[in-house]
Amino acid sequence: MRPASPESPRKVCVVVASRANYGRIKSTLQAIRAHPCLELQLVVSASALLYRFGSAIDVIRADGFEPDRCLHIIVEGENPTTMAKSTGLAVMEMATAFENLKPDLVLTVADRFETLATAIAASYMNIPVAHTQGGEVTGSIDESVRHAITKLSHVHFPSTERSRERLLRLGEDPRQVYLTGCPAMDLLVPIAEEPSRPDLLKRYGGVGREIELSKPYLVVLQHPVTTEYGSGFEQINETLRAVHEIDLQAVWFWPNVDAGSDDVSKGIRTFRERVPDNRIHFYLNMSPEDYARLILRSACLVGNSSSALREGAFLGVPAVNVGSRQDGRERGENVVDADYDSAEIAAAIAEQLDRGRYPPSGLFGDGHAGERIADALAQCDPPLQKRITY
């Protein structure tokens, strides 16, 4: 890899494939763009381009990032077959994008099927791959995908000390493993000091009862679990019943594009029609900062999103983690687990409401990950042929 310098900046291609991806990498995009020895290339793909999954592309552009390529790679259906086909299509489209952009290094995020496709395409094209959030343990197929990406990657940016140690046990070169923290935490530091914004939700539309942010509210986000495909409808109904039973106003976000998304969405639509007097307002997406502002002042986070464990821990927000999607993931003391059972979920929410706020945790970082990642991207010199010791 050629040396990085202001005279010869290193081209770093970052791939953003979903609304969650963007929140997890935004501060790094800003740091790369500002770094004198780096040149940012941006590829936006998959559900980040689709309206029904929140049009993250609009948020990205509003933040001043213009993509170098937009890749449509989602095969309709939201089932295991279309998920596999979308991965294959993504490999082909990513390869074409990388051939045209000629990056010196590709940076990919976390554990999604689009992330795996990015790593496959770049590594086969002899482009070094950098990976954030490697070494973590979770449920579903995500863990297998994450570890596969680790073995395809050349530079690693784990979020926690335990994740760093796991990467080393997987045989990765210690010189290419940088403990940076999670970039999502970077967005939370200034927000934690802000005054409340009672008009926060007005520009996002959505459907349902108006939310009064001056009063207690829940934030709910529950995705399908790929390895439990076919159970999403029943699983989301249990959470819907629990939230309705608690009888607290709730902000609810639509699920991601993974296999089973249609079942989860069907459950939400059916509930809305069957229980028109519910106290829930449903949203597709919002900016990462506004999402952070929303969860900061929420009474409790509910569902199976990793943001309850990551951002929730950093902010000290009570959380109820539902089901198996986050099995094994590190978490702070703010999390209570519940199975797919409405009574158990409701009891856990009530327990957390009684408990109130938790001490903030720095488990997933201190708010400076983006700067650390950019500096490492400018300095690293990973060999394409990995020497792995087992």
Q: Which residues are CB-contacts of 131 (< 8 A; sequence separation ≥ 6)?
A: 107, 108, 109, 115, 119, 149, 150, 153, 155, 156, 157
Measure the CA–CA gap between 312 and 302, rounded to whole angstroms: 11
Q: How confident is the model at residue 68 (pLDDT cuts 50, 70, 90)?
A: very high
Pairing of strands 319-322, 250-253: unpaired
Least confident of 189-198, 216-225, 247-256, 310-319: 189-198
pLDDT number for residue 388: 61
Q: Cα–Cα distances in Å, from 175 out to 16, 162, 379? A: 26, 17, 11
Q: Which residues are CB-contacts of 212 (< 8 A; sequence separation ≥ 6)?
A: 249
For residue 390, is pLDDT > 60? no
Q: How confident is the model at residue 147 (pLDDT cuts 50, 70, 90)?
A: very high
Rounded to two decimals, the pTM is: 0.95
Using CB atoms within 10 Å of the CB of residue 55, give its burial: 0 to 12 exposed, 13 to 18 middle, 19+ buried: middle
Q: Smallest Cα–Cα separation from 248: which of 354, 337, 323, 334?
A: 354
pLDDT number for residue 4: 87
Average pLDDT of 94-107? 98
Q: How confident is the model at residue 2 (pLDDT cuts 50, 70, 90)?
A: confident
- Mean pLDDT over each residue of the chain, to the nearest integer: 96
The enclosing H or E element of 300 equals: strand 300-303
Using CB atoms within 10 Å of the CB of residue 65, give its burial: 0 to 12 exposed, 13 to 18 middle, 19+ buried: buried
Q: Cα–Cα distances in Å, from 142 out to 83, 93, 169, 306? A: 13, 22, 19, 12
Average pLDDT of 203-232? 96
For residue 386, is pLDDT > 80? no
pLDDT number for residue 196: 86
Residue ranges of domains in the chain, CATH in brackets = 10-182+365-379 (3.40.50.2000), 190-355 (3.40.50.2000)
pLDDT number for residue 139: 84
